[in-house]
Structure 1
Amino acid sequence: MDFRLTDDQRALRQGVRDLLEGRFGREALRATLDRADGTDTAGGSADGGSATGAGGGGVGRSAGGGRVLDRELWRALGAAGFFALRLPEAAGGVGLGLPEAVLAFEEAGRVLLPGPLIATHLAAGTVPGAATGETVVTAVDGGLVEWLDEADIVLGDIAGAEPLAPVDPLTPLHRLPARGGPPHRSPAPGEPRDARTPDRLLVSLLTAAEQLGSAARTCETAVQHARTREQFGRPIGAFQAVQHLCADMLARLETARAAVYAASVTADPADVAAARLLADEAAVRGARDCLQVHGGMGFTWESDVHLHLKRAWTRTHRAGGGTQSEEELAEDLLAGTA
């Protein structure tokens, strides 16, 4: 099976990168952070309420009091086909497949694009306005809900949801009370091994794609800093300890990339689980190693490195993260020996 990108896929990836870097470059990222922190009121007050549905919605306020989600950018993504990428052309979509969606979400991860991207993407065929970016959709994911206050439609039961102080300033979270029941269920006797919720599988894979993009950006950032930052009259990249950090980042990144791209082609639950584990590791450890390369500078608010680490940590709590993927891989291995 050939997992290499086609010319059309490379063009798609470059097009999404150009769009996001043009509409959500570093200046836009920092401006969004200022609004989330309540230090910038240029975006206007958040007194207006948003529409609700399928479980409710919120009043569209960030912790700092200003709107964080850029609705204009959201509509621009819709106009570019980001949310309707896998929707059939007959239904007004782009008509592409899961590999192309993975490439698009990888680019979103590179720039730390905020918002419930995956939930809106998955709702494009069922929720009016989701495909065009006119409607912001979020969904219950385990015991957490992202972007509850700024969503127009919330899929799932949000009764008793309580706001959390998020680690990532650009991922507002609400926690739901325990509903009972195990978070992961093994297939019953005689049940097909792939009988898992399709949306849950897609959430895990697209999250892995975002983690992959973040890992790529932190790897590039570390290498660039190592080439330009000097100590004792030499670039710090000349020191073996820094070289090892950068080499390990690249090795984890490319291993995860191969796994994520392969899983996007096969859509096999075991492949997705492996890809998710590798991508989570590449994103979290890559950001931590990038902090090491930057030294104390990486922990300052002015640096973007800590933002990648915080977002990577937050993504690991989505469906398919950590123990869930490990259990699915273990089940697959045990099934192969039965």
Structure 2
Amino acid sequence: MSFDNEERAALRSSVRDLLGKHSDSAAVRRAITTGHGYDDALWSRLCEQIGVAALAIPEKYDGVGASLLEVHVVQEELGRTLTPSPMLGSAVLAAQALVLSGDDDACARLLPGIAAGSVAALCWAGPDGWSGFGVTASGETLSGTASYVLGGDVADVLLVLTSEGLFEVDPAADGVTRRRVPAMDPTRALSEVVFDGVAARRLVSPTDLVDQLRTVALVALSAEQVGAASAALEQTVEYAKSRKQFGRAIGSFQALKHRMADMYALVETARSMSYAAALSGTHDDAVVAKVYCSEALQNVAAEAIQLHGGIAITWEHDAQLYFKRAHGSAQLFGQPRDYLAELATAAGL
């Protein structure tokens, strides 16, 4: 099922073509060993030739002024290839934190750079995850540790979300310590940022900023999960057509056809859930997309491992990378079980 109009179809084609040329499996594996954790040259191409970082930034801040649906398209395509990039952390999370804050001065200063490809990072979660904040504010001084920060170790600007609101911090400021941390998913670099009495600039931030930002984050993540699930399914089908046992392609066996049909159903329903959330923009739909797409990708990736057999768990094969992305992304922005409890409460159960 396609949710693309003519413009989104053209955007998808452009992103897919560029990634096809510069982000195959070998390129992804090279990118994760770099100091940035992504291919800086590819990110520059995506920004300069297609403008992916500028999509959801208003035109008055040098952006495109597109909707979350266009961001969805890019996230899907990046998820298909597992391309490491600052898209989710900088162009979505950090940029939308600024846009949703309504702080015109901060937006005018920072968003044009982000739209051009400069990397910003949002420091939010603490060691226990995204249910609280890792950093506390006393006036305009920040202390604490932000965990699971996307791009925090290489960002040109840090935005810090606290219970007292949103702050801007110079990464070179005294008291800031940044480091890359080991992650389950090698294609997504995570970092830890420590603030030890750091001077910060307080930004305007509405009381519902966290809820608004969480909604955007969950939709963007679900789009990436849909892309990854779709690619894992396609690779499994192609393998089933070529792998032979007892003189027949294993894809001709009825039992395996049923399993791949179930994978297809998961991918398509996940796609519908994700696009429904992008279209509505509501928190409840975003939560449903987060839960469903996380579980769909985990199931599809697990089936891909099973249907490929022993080769799928070797480092040389990409199936294990999709499996790690599935489980890593399921934990990002909160575990599905936590959101299930939220949905149950909202339903009065």
Q: TM-score, normalised by structure 1?
A: 0.77
* Greater displacement, 78-87 / 255-264: 78-87
Q: Identity over aligned residues, as a percent?
A: 35
C-alpha distance 131-321 of structure 1, shift in aligned 2 (>3 A): farther
Q: 1:173 aligns with which of 190, 197, 207?
A: 190
Q: Choose between structure 1 and 2: higher strand proportion.
A: 2
**Cα contact 1:88–1:95 (8 A) shared by 2:** yes
Instruction: State how far apart, in whole Å, the 2-side matches of 1:30 and 1:159 are.
Output: 30
Structure 2 gap segments, 5+ residues each: 100-106, 127-147, 162-174, 195-206
**Cα contact 1:142–1:318 (8 A) shared by 2:** no
Q: Look up the match of 1:180.
A: none
C-alpha distance 145-224 of structure 1, shift in aligned 2 (>3 A): same
For these two proteins, the number of residue pairs brought into alignment is 287
Give the aligned CA root-mean-square deviation in angstroms.
2.5
SS at match of 1:169: coil
Structure 1 segment 1-338 matched on structure 2, within 5 A: 4-33=3-32, 35=33, 61=35, 67-79=36-48, 80-122=50-92, 123-124=94-95, 126=107, 127=110, 128-133=112-117, 135-143=118-126, 144-156=148-160, 164-174=181-191, 197-334=211-348
**Cα contact 1:141–1:319 (8 A) shared by 2:** no
SS at match of 2:114: coil
C-alpha distance 139-292 of structure 1, shift in aligned 2 (>3 A): same
Instruction: State how far apart, in whole Å, the 2-side matches of 1:237 and 1:75 are.
Output: 40
**Cα contact 1:270–1:328 (8 A) shared by 2:** no
Instruction: State how far apart, in whole Å, the 1-side matches of 2:74 and 2:90 are.
Output: 14
Instruction: State how far apart, in whole Å, the 1-side matches of 2:124 and 2:314 are.
Output: 31
Amino acid at match of 1:20: L
C-alpha distance 324-121 of structure 1, shift in aligned 2 (>3 A): farther
**Cα contact 1:209–1:260 (8 A) shared by 2:** yes
How many Å apart are 1:152 and its aligned residue? 2.5
Instruction: State how far apart, in whole Å, the 2-side matches of 1:17 and 1:78 are.
Output: 14
SS at match of 1:95: coil
How many Å apart are 1:83 and its aligned residue? 1.2
How many Å apart are 1:240 and its aligned residue? 2.6
Instruction: State how far apart, in whole Å, the 2-side matches of 1:75 and 1:162 are.
Output: 23
Moved over 6 A (4+): 157-162
Q: TM-score, normalised by structure 2?
A: 0.75
Instruction: State how far apart, in whole Å, the 2-side matches of 1:262 and 1:324 are.
Output: 21
**Cα contact 1:201–1:320 (8 A) shared by 2:** no
Instruction: State how far apart, in whole Å, the 2-side matches of 1:166 and 1:214 are.
Output: 18
How many Å apart are 1:22 and its aligned residue? 2.1
Instruction: State how far apart, in whole Å, the 1-side matches of 2:176 and 2:315 are.
Output: 35
Q: Choose between structure 1 and 2: higher helix proportion.
A: 2
